[in-house]
Structure 1
Amino acid sequence: MKNRTKKLVSYLLCMAMLSGMMCFASTNAGAVPAEVQGNTLAEVIGMDPEVYMDWLYSHEDDNYYLGTPYKSGDHRNPNGDCEGANGSLDYYGVASMNCTGFVWHVLSTATDMSGGNSSMIPAMSGWVSFYNNNNISRKYFSTKEEMLSSGYLEKGDLIWMFEGSEYALSNYNHIGIYWGDGSSDVLWHSSSQGYVDGNRINSNVISTIIPAAPKAELYVVLKVGVPQEEKIDYDFNLDGVVSVSDVTILQEYIANLISKDDSSYNMSVTDVNNDGVTDIADVTYIQNVIAGTA
């Protein structure tokens, strides 16, 4: 009887341990890491990051991508390359892109120009497996505000916005290319959500970061591996020197003629004298810096 009791107790203890282990595994299966440090996307696909950025810069002011009509599904035909049918739902001569189609076209073009392997690049599906299997460096955020204030973002990074889990299929998952200065709210993407200058978005645009879901629950920043130029304090026009031109730009910023989100300028720090406000005192401070009296 004692032996049977011992066996029963041992069995129950074993089951309790197994149950606890299974609960633990189940809990962690749905968890996401705060950050993964691994390979850059450029390294994985053999893309030269400078070619990638040069390609984007060459089209940020024309209609090669911008203005291409948005269409859901596997559409990868920008205005500037719609003679063929890049996506499975595309028609020859018809321009249309969804969000993944835009990112795919940019990456594929830059990778082909670099002599890399563009066949690895996911289109409409397979992104989560792609960045997991290739150990691509990335960081997870629960809100846009947290992401923008993290210091992790760099111009050219990819941002995935998930309605829920990154593993859950949803028509409201969205991807774009970060086009700000690290803290500014700027995204280059193909979308049908939100407004620009009062007009409903339904095309490829450079706008604020707008998820497709009413409320994105997860933001994943994928590191492309773009080399970042070191910014010089008070060099607002990014020409490599602090001069009278920067004084003028700060004055225009104070007069609301330049936005903090304008990626043409480095307006990340405008309160140069650290008094809590950006005003004429900051203009005077920079003038003193230029004169060597600050």
Structure 2
Amino acid sequence: MRRLLFIASALIALVAAGCPLTIQVRCDESFPCNDGEACVAGACVRVELESAQVGAACTSDAACGTGLTCGTGFPGGYCLAPCGEGDACASGSVCVKELGRCMRACGEACSRPGYACRPVPQPGSSTWACAPTSSDGGDGGTVDPGPSEDAGCTGQVPLNERCAQACDCAPPGADCVGSVCVQTCTRDLDCPDGSRCNGEHCEKGPRLGEACRDNFDCPGVAKCNAQRRCTKSCITDQSCPLDYRCAPDSVCVNECTSAPPETVGLTCESSMDCARCGFCVSSGAVKQCRQPCQLDRDCPGGAVGACEQVGSTELRACRLP
């Protein structure tokens, strides 16, 4: 009892004398320390994290150092520090709140092979950090890192090619998803030349009416016909994709949205011979390419009667000059 009174008196005296008093919480496997603290000699102590170690390759927590953990889900491993309420990231790292972890910041320090400056934890996030350019596993050195945010954007990556960030992609409006340039679409006209819309995003390949080598080149159920053009059979306009119409010979052709097709007046066997948006229509003893229309004003000059009914069908085409 005298010893306890002596210790209490000594503590009071130290505080009264202005001596700093540090109380350390005891810890062990049953009583772990808070984030940002480490158990040293049975006591929880605050750890000053080394910013240079955040984002480093690792195989275990021990490789990262005190207070850090090894994110083994990252290619080659990734040293992470905790962050959140009351925990700030060290200089050179940023807090990804959705993960509750500090990651290496963008800039010159983001030079690890297979890593680049990207939005985290997913495309479109407002937080940018040094993150993998690929979701694939590995040693972190098998993927080209691409440009960091500070290094600027290339703006030259075509669709379906590898990218590090959205502004690397060449087509306007394209995004970098899963380290690949993709562009959402609803119709072929939304896509760059040389690609088409599969109903969700643009993909490489010929559109309906364009040149093909075999059926595998063509979209969906379209076939590569004898003239080596992608052809889709139809009954009505609803049988065709957006921006296409069902021609009198029951194949889907583009709607004319600007200039008349360059094939107007030429002889043809099918509407596929009439290129971009022409109908192949019987004109006496021969078939000729005509421009589809709905109203007189759709035809060159817009004269009354310029848009006439095609045979016994409900389709209409512009009169030939």
- Which band: TM-score by shorter chain? under 0.3
Structure with a larger share of its residues in helix = 1
Pick 1 or 2: higher relative contact order, CA cutoff 8 A, min separation 6: 1
Q: Over alpha carbons, which structure has the higher Rg?
A: 2
TM-score of the superposition, structure 1-length normalised? 0.22
TM-score of the superposition, structure 2-length normalised? 0.21
